[in-house]
Structure 1
Amino acid sequence: CPFLIEAGCSVYADRPSACRTYPLERGVEKAGPNAPLKSHYAVVHHSYCKGHEERNTYTVRQWKREQRLDSFNLMNDLWAEVDAFFAGDPWQGEGHAGPRQQLAFMVCYNIDAFRAYSIENNLIVQYRLDRDQRRRIERDDAELLKFGFTWLMHVLGERKILRSR
């Protein structure tokens, strides 16, 4: 791990979900288009992991709570929806790095550019969102990313997820 130093994890408070989840591995499945995602967990054992030598035992629920995984799992679940959407090829034959792909890349990987784009194009005010939701989107990166995922599927997939004003 590039973040492991002599004193331990150098990014512990901000560690990603893979680190928080370990030694569990999480898999998700979806029974149908409108079905919720269902999580499955398995414990993995690696010889280098000293945690298996500890005497403490946890249930999956306890581990998720202690590691504060719910918000991370939510974002991973939302990403799984977007990733599955992308696998359906919403690019309409535009070719490599076309405008639709660049838009998707900006939303998913450059939150600062997407924030500027959404302000410049008045995205948030174009849709029927309650005042609190608009405020959260304007102030919080995670909320903006959630909106961005929904907006992408609305615009690229022509799904009527968002309601125009």
Structure 2
Amino acid sequence: MSNTPRTPGDDDDDYYIDEEELAASTYVPAEPDLQLEVFDAVRGEGGTPVNPVRLDAEDTFRFRCHKGVSCWNQCCHGADITLTPYDILRLSKHFEVRPAQFLAEYTVPATFDKSNLPVAKLKMGGTDGKGACAFVTDDGCSVYAARPATCRYYPLGVVSMKMKDAESKEDFNFIVTEPHCKGHDEDQVQNVGAYKAEQQVTDNERVDRGWIDILMKMASWSTMGGPMGKAPSLATRKMFFMATADVDAFRNFVLNTRFLESYEIAPEAVDIIKTDDEALLLLGYDWLKAVLFNEPTLTLKEHVLQQAIAKARTEMGAA
């Protein structure tokens, strides 16, 4: 499929999924133990050395990045940076543009490994994508206050893990050691918890949690050949990208299709999502979880549910 960012006003009916069919479908398979690396190296060339030792908040590591280090700005060339939904919002606000315009100018379409779902990656310079990041200057990052989560965490990687019988997911960190990075040779000892606080990753962890949950669930399906043995459909991929990357297209979908006629959404919540992009992202996660995994994150209105049941009974030959 093409992940090319869409602009508001495109034919959003392309995204519409029959809510009756969704209500009658239950896709949730048994989940295996699953470990998903959400943020790892900035170079996507495979074989990147990582320290597999789990790091908790109180653990320490040696690292310092500053203009005097010999590798200054090297990590900003040919970087492999997947943007999270919150990254896209924050960078769009930095440039005072809407997400669709930011996506068109600064990103390239990609697929998140294991989940087979579309994501946006930061565009690098050069015909081969090995050139400089558009935001790097001699003095460092020109969008430092709005920099992506991958850059904030570095040199920490992030693993999100769920054991088969566990009720909740668990995140932990590990050290990424890449040959180009000399920050590991510096004398400064960092505390994991304090480093993450300094890098201000709290908002990413809060807003992007639902996105990570969906990627994990789809990755677990992939290990078993997908729901009912199938890979994510074109419709699934399109609606995932719309809801997690292009908030204006998703807002148009929510407000100008049968969405609000199908789901129980409080009037005050509708008023909020008309202008609040973060709230709209959270609604998008709930919608995707309900549609894809039959999770009770959104409630179908009674008449929609009854229509779905009636349709299913008819198709099964029941009276």
> Could you tell me which residue of structure 1 aligns to residue 241 of structure 2?
105
Distance 1:161 1:6, change over 3 A: same
Contact 2:251 2:273 in 1 (8 A): no
1:15-46 superposed Cα distances (whole Å, 9 cap, x missing partner)? 01100001111112112466222222122333
**CA 1:17 to 1:95, structure 2 compared with 1: closer, same or farther past 3 Å?**
closer
Are 2:251 and 1:119 equivalent residues in the alignment? no
Cα distance, 1:103–1:91 mapped onto 2, change above 3 Å:
farther
Partner Cα separation in structure 1 for residue 148 and residue 267 of structure 2: 31
Counterparts of 1:22-33 in structure 2, within 5 Å, are 22-32=154-164
Instruction: Give CA deviations for 1:99-148 in whole Å, capped at 9, x if unaligned.
Output: 343222321232210011111136457324483x5454333222211210
Q: Give TM-score, length-normalised by structure 1.
A: 0.78
Higher helix share: 1
Identity percentage of aligned residues: 28
- Alignment match, 1:49: 181
Report the counterpart of residue 275 of structure 2 in structure 1.
139
1:14 has 2:146 as partner: yes
Q: What pairs up with 1:21-100 in 2 under 5 angstroms?
A: 21-32=153-164, 35-87=167-219, 88=221, 89=226, 97=234, 99-100=235-236
Unaligned runs of 5+ in 2: 1-75, 77-132, 302-319
How many residue pairs get matched?
Answer: 163
Greater share of residues in strand? 2
Distance 1:44 1:162, change over 3 A: same
Name the larger-Rg structure: 2
**Which structure 1 residue ranges, 5 or more long, are not aligned?**
none
Contact 2:155-2:177 at 8 Å conserved across structures? yes
Query: RMSD of the TM alignment (CA)?
Result: 3.0
CA spacing shift, 1:94–1:77, aligned 2, 3 Å: closer
Q: TM-score, normalised by structure 2?
A: 0.44
Counterparts of 1:118 and 1:102, CA distance in 2: 15
Give the distance between the partners of 2:207 and 2:288, measured in 1 at CA: 15
Change (3 A) 1:56 1:140: farther
